[in-house]
């Protein structure tokens, strides 16, 4: 497929259990700006069964919502989703397709790119438009975040990119925005799946979901032993915050994987991020550095975490943290 008549920006709106994920709204916010820069329109594409939220996608910036509703699409199935999305792209020819770099997005979007023979950039942290060449300029980290690469897809279309949740900010929804919802029939005869989802097992230890928390208290290797990770939980509970952890802390078994923040865990962007005993390896920083306010408590004044911290306390965390928790409880 070549450039010729490819027009418009698409955002793939991933859903789970019938609810559109926030990352879709975040992508629509940035997608809206990119579409305006190109003077084109913005569409959301949503697959699922009885998904509520077309209005929400419009309120967040979509001019049009393609909704494919089918029982078979209720669960996230790579081959069905890849087949259907590739088919829609062939029919409607958008110039840009964006999707969330969720585990499912990262698993099925490459199949779409391969089916279409086009380029795909994973885990973008910035998306811009080169207006002169009408190109999507994609910035992505490599080497765990030590290197940034700027990538374009000059000829093949569409230009495809995934973006991790919480990289872009949702815009304030405009309930009065008008948009068109287009129902698309799922082509169940041509698009079939070979895999079967047998069960889903939830593994969530926390009461406050880390992706949605306004405040996160995260612990790292500096806590030294499992028992002292309790200090992180106590401070979190005093603040009504979610508990986060570095990969090192998860590897030690102090916290479950669902708490892991960083390159191979979650990306978060809370209003307040308190890092305790976190050195700030770049793989961790890429998962939290866009938080509004970052507080670091660590005994090593040269720890890289202080490079991103708004407020730093260099000191003995075993003294500082219990004191902080105690004061906050009052």
Considering the complex, state which of residue 114 and residue 224 has its C-beta at the smaller distance from other proteins. 114
Instruction: Compute the least distance from the CB of residue 191 to other proteins, in Å.
Output: 13
Please give, one letter per residue, the 3-state secondary structure of 269-283: CCCEEEEECCCCCHH
Count of CB atoms within 10 A of residue 131's CB?
10
- Cβ distance 173 to 55 under 8 Å? no
Q: Tokens in use for 225?
A: 């032993």
Instruction: Compute the least distance from the CB of residue 53 to other proteins, in Å.
Output: 18
- Cβ distance 59 to 199 under 8 Å? no
| DSSP helix/strand/coil, 86 | helix
Instruction: Compute the least distance from the CB of residue 103 to other proteins, in Å.
Output: 5
Side-chain half-sphere CA neighbours of 122 within 13 A: 15
Considering the complex, state which of residue 58 and residue 101 has its C-beta at the smaller distance from other proteins. 101
Considering the complex, state which of residue 179 and residue 260 has its C-beta at the smaller distance from other proteins. 260
Instruction: Tell me if the bond preceding 158 is cis, omega within 30° of 0.
Output: yes
Instruction: Compute the least distance from the CB of residue 289 to other proteins, in Å.
Output: 8
- CA proximity to 236, closest of 216, 207, 220, 261: 216
- Find residue 68's DSSP bridge partners: 47, 184
Instruction: Compute the least distance from the CB of residue 97 to other proteins, in Å.
Output: 13
Instruction: Compute the least distance from the CB of residue 156 to other proteins, in Å.
Output: 4
Considering the complex, state which of residue 38 and residue 239 has its C-beta at the smaller distance from other proteins. 239
Considering the complex, state which of residue 175 and residue 198 has its C-beta at the smaller distance from other proteins. 198
Residue count of the chain? 330
Considering the complex, state which of residue 58 and residue 89 has its C-beta at the smaller distance from other proteins. 89
Residue 99 sits at the vertex; the CA angle it makes with 57 and 107, to the nearest 5 degrees, is 135
- Cβ distance 157 to 170 under 8 Å? no
Considering the complex, state which of residue 18 and residue 183 has its C-beta at the smaller distance from other proteins. 18
Instruction: Compute the least distance from the CB of residue 115 to other proteins, in Å.
Output: 6
């Amino acid at each position: 497929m070549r450039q010729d008549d490819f027009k418009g920006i698409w955002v793939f709106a991933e859903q789970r259990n019938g609810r559109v994920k926030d990352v879709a709204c975040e992508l629509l916010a940035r997608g809206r700006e990119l579409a305006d820069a190109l003077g084109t329109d913005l569409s959301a594409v949503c697959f699922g069964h009885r998904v509520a939220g077309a209005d929400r996608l419009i309120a967040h910036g979509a001019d049009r919502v393609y909704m494919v509703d089918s029982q078979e699409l209720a669960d996230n199935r790579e081959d069905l989703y890849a087949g259907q999305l590739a088919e829609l792209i062939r029919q409607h020819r958008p110039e840009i397709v964006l999707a969330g770099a969720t585990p499912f997005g990262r698993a099925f979007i490459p199949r779409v790119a391969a089916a279409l023979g086009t380029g795909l950039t994973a885990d973008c942290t910035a998306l811009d438009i080169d207006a002169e060449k009408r190109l999507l300029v994609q910035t992505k980290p490599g080497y765990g975040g030590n290197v940034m690469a700027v990538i374009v897809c000059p000829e093949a279309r569409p230009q495809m990119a995934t973006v991790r949740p919480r990289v872009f900010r949702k815009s304030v929804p405009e309930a009065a925005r008008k948009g068109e919802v287009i129902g698309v029939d799922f082509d169940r005869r041509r698009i079939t799946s070979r895999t079967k989802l047998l069960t889903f097992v939830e593994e969530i230890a926390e009461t406050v979901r880390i992706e949605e928390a306004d405040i996160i208290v995260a612990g790292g290797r500096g806590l030294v032993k499992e028992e002292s990770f309790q200090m992180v939980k106590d401070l979190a509970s005093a603040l009504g915050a979610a508990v986060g952890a570095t990969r090192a802390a998860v590897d030690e078994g102090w916290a479950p994987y669902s708490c892991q923040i960083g390159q191979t865990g979650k990306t978060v962007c809370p209003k307040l991020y308190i890092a305790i005993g976190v050195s700030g390896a770049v793989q961790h920083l890429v998962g939290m550095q866009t938080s509004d306010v970052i507080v670091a408590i660590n005994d090593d004044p040269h720890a890289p975490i202080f490079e991103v911290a708004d407020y730093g306390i260099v000191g003995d965390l075993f003294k500082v943290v219990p004191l902080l928790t105690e004061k906050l409880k009052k």
